[in-house]
Amino acid sequence: MRVNENILISSLTTMRLGGPARYVLETETPEDVADAYGFAEQFNLPTFVLGYGANTIGHDEGFKGVIIINRMQGITEENGKLKIMGGEYWDNVVAYAVEKNLTGIEALSKIPGLAGAAPVQNIGAYGQEIADTLTEIEVYDSFTKTFKTLKKDELNFSYRKSILNTTEKNRYFVISITLELSEGEMSRPFYNSIERYISEHHSTDFSPKGIREIVSNIRADKLPDPLEKPSAGSFFKNIYLSDEEAEAAENKNYPVYRGKDGNKINSGWLIEQAGFKGKLLHGFRVNEKACLVLINESAKSYDDLRKAREEIIAKVYDKFGYWLKQEPEEIQNENPRR
């Protein structure tokens, strides 16, 4: 375990905001994880588990506790079951799977982050989500100080949610995840963006590799690399609607996507229609091609982000009657549980 002191959170997160963290512990084995929590307990400090930093926002005052980072890597496969260590970069997992011609996660290509974070918010994109293929996770339970295996049905997955970021937030540290994939292809109809790409480019390869290439191209065109242009990926969650709400929205000619995970309106469309496309707000640029993304061009303060966020939320509500909700998690001194 590597122990670092007074590390700027802005250097650990892709939005590039945040003051110093008192301690940053890098764990390379499951035993390191137990030791990291023991370290925090010894000094009576709160903990925060941080992955790649692409879906996390720091505050100016920093964090007066212990940030624990997962550095455990490795992928093993047997009969379509992949066991992935939590510190493995997620897109490496997708690349591994499609090389084996396994379907189930190819539409999740190019999502920045670590494998251990995937089940926390049930990552999803282009019609797939991690809940479709995940069977179990290995965790360290910081409450009971034991290692456990949690099955999928214990995680209570829903849109961008699991027990890991709701009822049991800050309790479990994900050591590894297990996915069950299969040979074959995604079934049509595909997500709207994929269908449009297929039509425009006359694509015919719908194998896992083919879909990965399509999704990678779509994302490269629409979404800036957070390492090149500081951002937190999709900043706002999409709006999910009941069947009655979806029908009412369609009657207003709003673009409603009806899929297996429910009815939704892309929040990026709402933000664009509210007049924010390409605009600079308090140092944050609303991305031209995907308005869900806020790019930090010149902001130095969390207060700048707060002002930009509130301005967007208020105008979208005034125009459409929908409240936007932020997707990235925030590192705050008052929130984490010991």
3-class DSSP assignment, residue 93: helix
3-state DSSP assignment of residue 43: coil
Q: Indicate which residue of 26, 213, 245, 327 is catalytic.
A: 327
Is 310 noted as a catalytic residue in this protein? no
Catalytic entry in 16, 106, 136, 160: 160
Q: Is 267 known to be catalytic? A: no
Q: How far is CA 31 from the centre of its chain?
A: 26
How far apart, in whole angstroms, are the C-alpha atoms of residue 151 and residue 85?
16
Annotation says 234 is catalytic: yes
Amino acid at 325: K
Choosing from 176, 193, 234, 267, the catalytic residue is: 234
Best CA proximity match to 129, nearest among 243, 245, 238, 241: 238
Q: In whole angstroms, how far apart are CA 73 and each of 4, 27, 30, 33, 161?
A: 20, 11, 11, 14, 24
**Which residues neighbour 204 within 8 Å (Cβ) at sequence distance 6 or greater?**
none
Cis omega before residue 224 (within 30°)? no
Contact 119, 130 (CB under 8 A): yes
> Catalytic residue positions?
160, 234, 327
